[in-house]
Amino acid sequence: MNLLDIRNLSIELVNGDKNILAVDKVSLSMKEGEVRGLVGESGSGKSLLAQAIVGVLDDKWHVHADRFHWRGIDLLRLSIAERKALLSRDIAMIFQEPMACLDPTTTIGEQLSEAIDSKSLTGFFWQKQQQQRHSAATKLLHKVGIKNHSVCLKSYPHQLTEALCQRVMIAIALARRPILLIADEPTATMESTNQNQIFRLLSSLNQLKNMSILLISHDLENITHWTKTITVMYSGQFVEAGTTEQIFNKPLHPYTRALVDSNPSANFHLPAKSRLMTLPGSIPILQHLPIGCRLGPRCPRAQQACVKSPTVTNFHGHKVSCHFPLTPMKVSHKVTKRVS
């Protein structure tokens, strides 16, 4: 059974008379204990998708989905309040800029202890619940590798570094013992040493506590070290999903191919001072989205059929959404025939 199973989720920006489809029918599924990467350029709708899953989008965004299952429970059948209660209990999220995500006027200790579920405390409120909260907060800080807990609990967010703030954010996320942690570019504003520390912390949490992680990033190369499976998005559309080896070694979609090729490490054979491999053009803005496959105008393999949205084809768990998928062209056709 899948932990999370989303089929055809669309997010629409309601803007006066014209609606903009920011995320167009994206599917995402996760298994228990899995670390999945969600990769795409900035503006590809990956953060929107994550926020839609947690349910923290504003009123101006409208979310539709054909299927939204969480551990076998159909969330679309529940009321909004029930869904919110269930999701906030089981899913936690950490954001891009940790310092901006902590209330600047409240101490870390207060923010951490208010995230602790009051059900986990014993006794009535006069029986030293404050102390229990404090010790629970201290334990959480130890879990994320902050040893100097007493100083950290007393300080305000602006007195800590970005990496420490992100650790605190992870501690806050862990307070409810979540089953899924969504990390939305957790290291975007950090130096590489701190980045690795955070990633190591996340992967140890995954291994020790069997916590699933959805890791959102724009940097394909960096997250391949930490993820088992990867989903690629482009301009709000689903592109490709598969294991990390499949995506990195045998990409089926021209966009994923370009993404892998644009890495400096993939370009070692190039002569000095020559241009890196990139797709022409840039990601379309939300007001002028192309119809059909949104990669169409930039795609080297685009043909007339691309003005219609491609359907998702499944090659042994390696899903791709393209009319003319890449390498295993002939083989893949045989495979699909056999499957169908």
Partner 1 sequence: MLVFALRRLNLFIFTMLLLTLLSFSLSFLFPGDAIINISGAINATPSELVEIQKSYQTDRNIFWQYSAYLRHIVNGDLGLSMASQSKISSEVLNLLPATIELSLVALLIAMFVGIPLGFIAAIKHNKPADNIILSVSMLGYSIPIFWLGLLAILTFSINLGWLPSAGQISLLFEIKLVTGIKFIDILLSDSPYKWQAFADASAHIILPACVIAVAPATIFVRLARTSMIEVLETSYIRAARAKGLSFQQIIFRHAIRNALIKIIRHVGLQFANLVTIAMVTEVIFSWPGIGRWLIESIYQRDFTAIHSGLLVLACFIFVVHILTDFIYAALNPLARGNKYGS
Which residues lie near partner 1 (CB under 8 A)? Answer: 51, 54, 56, 88-89, 92-93, 95, 97, 100-106, 114-115, 156, 158, 169, 172-173, 175-176
Nearer to partner 1, 39 or 50 (CB): 50
Q: What minimum distance in Å lies between the beta carbon of 104 and partner 1?
A: 6
Q: What minimum distance in Å lies between the beta carbon of 98 and partner 1?
A: 9
Nearer to partner 1, 3 or 168 (CB): 168
Nearer to partner 1, 100 or 339 (CB): 100
Nearer to partner 1, 54 or 312 (CB): 54
Is the distance from CB of 69 to CB of 5 less than 8 angstroms? yes
CA distance 303 to 250: 22
Q: What minimum distance in Å lies between the beta carbon of 93 and partner 1?
A: 5
Q: What minimum distance in Å lies between the beta carbon of 102 and partner 1?
A: 6
Q: What minimum distance in Å lies between the beta carbon of 64 and partner 1?
A: 21
Nearer to partner 1, 169 or 230 (CB): 169
Nearer to partner 1, 54 or 289 (CB): 54
Is the distance from CB of 175 to CB of 120 less than 8 angstroms? no
Q: What minimum distance in Å lies between the beta carbon of 115 and partner 1?
A: 5
Nearer to partner 1, 85 or 305 (CB): 85
Q: What minimum distance in Å lies between the beta carbon of 180 and partner 1?
A: 12
